[in-house]
Amino acid sequence: MAAQAPLKDQLFNAQSVGQLAAEYAAAVPSFDAERFIADALAGFEPRELMARLEWLADCIEDQLADDFPTMADQLHAALPPRLDPARSDDDFGDFIHAVPGILAARHGLEAHRSRAMDLLYEATQRFTMEFYIRPFLIRWPDETLALLATWARDPNYHVRRLVSEGTRPRLPWAKNVGLMPAQTFPLLDILHSDPARYVTRSVANHLNDLSKIEPDAVLARLALWKKAGEQDDKELAWMTRHALRTLIKQGHTGAMAALGYDATVPVTAQITLDRDRLSIGEALRFEIVLQADVALPVLVDYRLTFARPNGKIAHKVFKLKAAQLGANVPLQLRKTHKFKGDATTFALHAGAHGITAQVNGRDVAEVWFDLTE
């Protein structure tokens, strides 16, 4: 089977650049589409994904007006139609339409903040402006947060999502905006009851970011929202699980309690491996048997301990099962884990490895095995 093209080539290629050229040529009479296509494609090869976006902006900026208000009008005129307002999820837009956000941050941040924010408002309805609103939050925090408070009630769910996503403490690939929970919680108070999953997923991701910094504040806010009853119970339960996923992997007792799991009830466990030695690239089958004196719901994860170079170790938690454990009734759980040798994000190394059973956030059993080259 042929290897899939890198994401940067899937997103930025002759077809996507041609689409962008047509949009700008239709909106800006002086725009030379052929020149833009030639320039853009010639500069892609040495650049990675985000750098290609900046390069596209360079090539487009070269053919737009020098003064930002006129440039903003041209960028606005070249925007494609808004994303489908009838949808409520998974409608991210095309990366090529990030260009207005890049240029708004480049040229509107200091002297033309209001016009730049207007452009971001329109552009985020075509492609998320979560990266490009962050320079405004850093430079103009009070003014930008005040505007976002109005956007949190906007009819367009892409605008509402931007309020949560753009203010996330640890947005991937993005600058840290340095906001405190007290500054963003009022926005999330509005958005947590949103009818669009695209928005509530962002709220949950925002809370998950915050949980790494202020876990108690996150748990308190979720409890407050539950008491308020403004969101559908099932949706809020989903948001809570998603928001607490990092704390759950860490075995945080408060997070476990928020999801209805009692970490204080003793649970015994036994782990059985199908072998105690395997090679990188092979799969290990194992069984975990749990038992308790009383019935209780259990959230079962397993944590792998990996051998790392120079005698170090690393840990990674994997989900296994949410189940009901009967009183004095053994619960058997089976899993096959493949130790991939071609993973690009985490290289495996030969050595002693461990599996730890984690029940309701507590370690209850551990076994070791050897992984070889």
- Tens digits of per-residue pLDDT, 131-164? 999 999 999 999 999 999 999 999 999 999 999 9
Rg (CA), the chain: 25
- Measured between alpha carbons, how far is residue 213 from residues 104, 170, 206, 317, 364 in Å? 31, 10, 11, 19, 27
d(CA 276, CA 369): 5
Ordered structural domains, the chain, with CATH: 7-187 (no CATH), 268-372 (2.60.40.1930)
Helix, strand counts (H, E) of the chain: 16, 8
Write the CB contacts of 236 (distance below 8 Å, at least 6 apart in sequence).
192, 225, 226
Residue with tokens 């903003």: 72
Write the CB contacts of 177 (distance below 8 Å, at least 6 apart in sequence).
134, 137, 138, 141, 167, 169
Would you give the DSSP letter of residue 64? S
Would you give the DSSP letter of residue 3? P
- Per-residue pLDDT of the chain (373 residues), as tens digits, is 445 788 899 999 999 999 999 999 999 999 999 999 999 999 999 999 999 999 999 999 999 999 999 999 999 999 999 998 777 676 778 999 999 999 999 999 999 999 999 999 999 999 999 999 999 999 999 999 999 999 999 999 999 999 999 999 988 888 889 899 999 999 999 999 999 999 999 999 999 999 999 999 999 999 999 999 999 999 999 999 999 999 998 889 999 999 999 989 999 999 999 999 999 999 999 999 999 999 999 999 999 999 998 889 999 999 999 999 999 999 999 999 999 987 767 889 999 999 999 999 999 999 999 999 8
Residue type, 324: Q
- Go through 36-60 and write b for each residue having 16 or more CB atoms within 10 A of its CB, e for each that does not: bbebbeeebeeeeeeebbebbbbbb
Residue with tokens 């925007």: 79
The model's pTM is 0.86
Residue type, 9: D
pLDDT tens digits, one per residue of 219-254 = 999 999 999 999 999 999 999 999 999 999 888 999
Beta strand 351-359 with 296-307 is antiparallel
Structure tokens at 360: 């309701």
